[in-house]
Structure 1
Amino acid sequence: MKILTTLITTTIAVFSLTACKSLPSYSSDYSQADQKIKGIPFNDAQAHDIGSRFVAAFNTLGTSNFVTQASSLYADQLYINDTLSQFSNKQELIKHFEGMNNRVSNVSVKLISATHHQDSAYIHWYMAYDFKMFGRTKTMASYGISEIKINSNQQIIFQQDYWDPANGLYRSLPVFGGAYKWVLPFKKS
């Protein structure tokens, strides 16, 4: 019981301290990247192709093939915001992917639809996976949309993910999920 009380107190203290930290909004970074980074214009087939390649690469997440698959999908210089992290070069993105790869297994990603407007493809996806944290594994799932721009080599140069990390991740985490649900309860009528 003493360990649990210490863990809860520490968690609340960490949440309190991080809540005080001021972080800039990603909106200005997104706006600048969207204006600066121009991809090739899409047609229906190209939008579907990048959606299929994107889903195929992420279906290998949690396996030894993932980092290689993902690496071939992205250009060296890029803008990517996956809602939890932001990257401007492939080297840092791949480090992030290596860390993700060690925490997940049993990944299933499905392509729901692929649409486009000018040089942006909008990839609507569903992802389910097992996530390891604190020695426990939890099955999680989320729907999302990724706005993607590609270069003439068919590599991703711009990606902005839109998904709900509150319901797709935070509420499901051991220990943290309970605190998150308490602070920001989900209401359904």
Structure 2
Amino acid sequence: MMKIFTTLMTTVVAVLGLSACKSLPSYSQDYTQADQNIQGISLNDEQAHEIGTRFVAAFNTLGTPKFVNQASSLYADQLYINDTLSQFSNKQDLIQHFEGMNNRVSNVTVKLISATHHEDSAYIHWYMAYDFKMFGRSKTMASYGISEIKINAKQQIIFQQDYWDPANGLYRSLPVFGGAYKWVLPFKKS
């Protein structure tokens, strides 16, 4: 049994290693271009807090039937969003992504920690905990993050860049993959 497990793990590591060699466009270039080309409305502290409150309220419905409608009203048709795992430039693709997420999560809690701004960007510091379903199992996960958000005059999100740690907030907790991830990139705490 150990020999089969070792062979399986070696194969998984080899496939992951080879897939990492694939040439992908740099998200940094996309971010820079979107940040320079997408102008939101100028913000003050109160508006930044309001953006954070609406953002958290919408994502607190994740995993429920009303989430897709809540999220749809939050975003503009044309946008830039990078949630660290995926990148979108239109609401239609983003909503399709949200529908898939909605089927995999439950018991979501999102808390607004703080909201601040600089010119047209709100910086929303949040905490999210949720149950994630994969391979018929459910695992409770939690993460802290910050979302840089720009809105248009209609109060819709036109730019969002999320900053959070998917290694410790998601990957290490996944069934099967988590063990391989922990083995390849161990978390060191001193």
C-alpha offsets along residues 62-112 of structure 1, whole Å, 9 cap, x if unaligned? 000000000000000000000000000000000100010010000000000
Post-superposition offset of 1:114: 0.4
Q: Which amino acid in 2 is paired with 1:58?
A: F
Which residue matches 1:118? 119
Structure 2: give runs of 5+ residues left out of the alignment.
none
Which residue matches 1:151? 152
Task: Give the secondary-structure state (helix, strand or coil) at the position aligned to 2:181.
Answer: helix
Matched, 1:63 2:79: no
Q: Residue 66 and residue 145 in structure 1: after superposition, are their counterparts in 2 closer, same or farther (change >3 A)?
A: same
Task: Give the secondary-structure state (helix, strand or coil) at the position aligned to 1:84.
Answer: coil
Matched, 1:130 2:131: yes
Q: Residue 7 and residue 59 in structure 1: after superposition, are their counterparts in 2 closer, same or farther (change >3 A)?
A: farther
Matched, 1:81 2:82: yes
Post-superposition offset of 1:45: 1.0
Which residue matches 2:94? 93
Post-superposition offset of 1:22: 1.7
Post-superposition offset of 1:10: 4.9
Q: Which amino acid in 1 is paired with 2:62?
A: L
Q: Which amino acid in 1 is paired with 2:77?
A: D
Fraction of identical pairs, as percent: 86
Question: How many residues end up aligned between the 2 structures?
Answer: 189
Post-superposition offset of 1:20: 2.0
Post-superposition offset of 1:14: 3.1
Task: Give the secondary-structure state (helix, strand or coil) at the position aligned to 2:63.
Answer: coil
> Matched residues in 1 for 2:7 and 2:74: separation?
44
> Matched residues in 2 for 1:17 and 1:136: separation?
28
Q: Residue 64 and residue 6 in structure 1: after superposition, are their counterparts in 2 closer, same or farther (change >3 A)?
A: farther
Q: Residue 121 and residue 152 in structure 1: after superposition, are their counterparts in 2 closer, same or farther (change >3 A)?
A: same
Structure 1: give runs of 5+ residues left out of the alignment.
none
> Matched residues in 2 for 1:140 and 1:51: separation?
21
Task: Give the secondary-structure state (helix, strand or coil) at the position aligned to 2:26.
Answer: coil
> Matched residues in 2 for 1:3 and 1:181: separation?
19
Q: Normalising by structure 1, report the TM-score.
A: 0.95
Q: Which amino acid in 1 is paired with 2:136?
A: G
Post-superposition offset of 1:16: 2.8
> Matched residues in 2 for 1:135 and 1:185: separation?
26
Task: Give the secondary-structure state (helix, strand or coil) at the position aligned to 1:144.
Answer: strand
Post-superposition offset of 1:5: 6.2
Q: More displaced, 19-28 or 91-100?
A: 19-28
CA RMSD, Structure 1 to Structure 2 (Å): 1.5
After the TM superposition, which segments of 4 or more aligned residues of structure 1 sit over 6 Å from their partners?
none
Q: Normalising by structure 2, report the TM-score.
A: 0.95
